[in-house]
């Protein structure tokens, strides 16, 4: 496939470079093999089950060769027409890339999914639009292809069209299908935002991993630059270093897709920047070339943040211990005071009783004395 020209903007250019690399891998991926270095599984929220590549490779090879008789036999034996290679590309993607309209028609007539997305979110229509294959794009549209599906870069097929005729065709279909492109671009992010808020409020994260890749909501948010979603998920307590089935963390994903802000958010939340995936790669190893220097700066910043956090924690712990010890002595003084108080009260009561008894005795003696005096007065009163 000829190298694509610049569409406009670093984002589109980056997408094209990665796409060209993916297509080169595709041409050599029809046998059972490990994913190419840096190859990623889909970062969509839903996906088909993992397939056995040894079976799928035979089917994909037959489709690639254009042998429809062999393809029919394989389908009759139960081959999955939507089986994918390591990059998530189906036979329909391949036929489109090869500009093989006959194979495209054969596959669609046998119920191939015209809207199936590969690992980068591209549908066959995305590929047709990017390659400029107008006749194939028209065929897809006539057989149910959606013009509003968004790839991992936030692009719909019309965003990838270079030829005026292709762009006109796709934009006309946007109107006919009543697609709100801006809403389409935001749909996944809005759903994730809703989920993140719900998990934060409930205190319980109920995420479901993507079936084929094991990607989580945190991987998706990191890879696609959904910054608000990312912050909410972290606030909700999502595991920062969660790994997908290939061992990729959200930082691997953000670094690979060149999402600078997501890398910053994760690093400042103190994620582990040195975790290795199943191929032994750190986020630095799989990062977009333009992001490596930024990652190195973030790691230095993270070291400072960790040091500050440790110092702060020690101060808090020391203050807490001091307060606990102070509280212990106060409690001990209180206990001693409480032990002495009843004794003091008893002594006071005894003194009061003793004093009261003495007073009563004195009063009794006074009364008796007065009584004797009165008697004497009576006895000696002159008549």
Instruction: Tell me the pTM.
Output: 0.60
Could you give the angle at the alpha carbon of 4 between the alpha carbons of 213 and 22, nearest 5°? 20
Residue 346 lies in a domain: no
**pLDDT at residue number 325:** 72
Quick check: 277 and 244 in contact, CB under 8 A? no
**pLDDT at residue number 307:** 83
Contacts 24+ apart (CB under 8 A), 353-358: none
Residue 160 lies in a domain: yes
CATH of residue 175's domain is: 1.25.40.20
Enter the tokens of residue 100.
């093989």
Same domain, 203 and 175: no
**Positive or negative CA dihedral for 346, 350, 355, 357?**
positive
Same domain, 138 and 198: no
> Using CA atoms, how far apart are residues 206 and 195, in angstroms rounded to an integer?
9
Domain boundary among 164, 179, 194: 179
Same domain, 162 and 220: no
Same domain, 157 and 26: yes
Residue 306 lies in a domain: no
Same domain, 118 and 226: no
Same domain, 34 and 120: yes
Domain boundary among 132, 152, 179: 179
**pLDDT at residue number 45:** 42
Same domain, 169 and 81: yes
Give mean pLDDT in consecutive 10-residue pieces for the chain, a chain of 383 residues.
38 50 48 42 43 72 93 94 91 95 97 93 95 96 95 89 95 93 87 95 92 89 94 96 96 95 96 96 95 95 86 77 68 60 62 58 54 44 36
Same domain, 282 and 135: no
Same domain, 108 and 46: yes
Same domain, 109 and 242: no
Residue 240 lies in a domain: yes
Quick check: 230 and 266 in contact, CB under 8 A? yes
Same domain, 164 and 242: no
Domain boundary among 111, 145, 179: 179
Residue 293 lies in a domain: no
Task: Count the domains in the chain.
Answer: 2
What number of other Cβ atoms are within 10 A of residue 331's Cβ?
A: 10
Domain interval for residue 72: 9-179
> Using CA atoms, how far apart are residues 285 and 247, in angstroms rounded to an integer?
13
Same domain, 24 and 99: yes
Q: Which of 95, 98, 160 is nearest to 129 (CA)?
A: 160
Residue 377 lies in a domain: no
**pLDDT at residue number 71:** 94
């Amino acid at each position: 496939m000829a190298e694509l020209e610049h569409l406009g903007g670093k984002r589109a250019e980056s997408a094209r470079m990665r796409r060209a690399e993916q297509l080169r891998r595709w041409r050599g991926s029809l046998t059972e093999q490990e994913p190419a270095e840096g190859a990623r599984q889909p970062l969509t929220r839903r996906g088909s089950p993992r397939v056995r590549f040894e079976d799928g490779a035979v089917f994909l090879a037959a489709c690639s060769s254009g042998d429809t008789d062999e393809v029919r036999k394989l389908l009759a034996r139960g081959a999955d027409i939507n089986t994918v290679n390591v990059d998530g590309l189906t036979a329909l993607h391949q036929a489109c890339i090869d500009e093989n309209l006959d194979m495209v028609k054969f596959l669609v007539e046998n119920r191939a999914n015209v809207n199936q997305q590969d690992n980068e979110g591209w549908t066959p229509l995305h590929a047709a639009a990017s390659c400029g294959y107008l006749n194939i794009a028209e065929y897809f549209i006539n057989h149910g292809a959606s013009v509003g599906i968004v790839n991992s870069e936030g692009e719909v097929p019309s965003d990838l069209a270079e030829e005026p005729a292709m762009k006109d065709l796709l934009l006309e279909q946007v109107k006919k299908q009543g697609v709100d492109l801006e809403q389409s671009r935001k749909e996944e992010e809005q759903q994730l935002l809703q989920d993140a808020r719900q998990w934060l409020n409930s205190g319980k994260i109920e995420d479901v991993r993507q079936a084929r890749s094991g990607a989580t909501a945190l991987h998706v948010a990191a890879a696609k630059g959904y910054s608000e979603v990312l912050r909410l998920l972290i606030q909700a307590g999502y595991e920062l270093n969660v790994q997908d089935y290939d061992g990729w963390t959200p930082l691997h994903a953000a670094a690979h897709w060149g999402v600078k802000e997501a890398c910053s958010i994760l690093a400042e939340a103190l994620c582990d920047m040195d975790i290795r995936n199943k191929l032994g790669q750190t986020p630095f190893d799989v990062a977009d070339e333009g992001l490596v220097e930024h990652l190195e700066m973030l790691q230095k910043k993270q070291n400072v943040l960790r040091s500050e956090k440790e110092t702060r924690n020690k101060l808090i712990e020391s203050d807490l211990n001091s307060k606990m010890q102070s509280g212990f002595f106060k409690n001990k003084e209180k206990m001693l005071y409480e032990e002495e108080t009843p004794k003091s009260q008893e002594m006071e009561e005894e003194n009061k009783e003793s004093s009261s008894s003495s007073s009563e005795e004195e009063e009794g003696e006074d009364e008796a004395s007065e009584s004797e005096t009165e008697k004497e007065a009576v006895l000696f009163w002159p008549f």
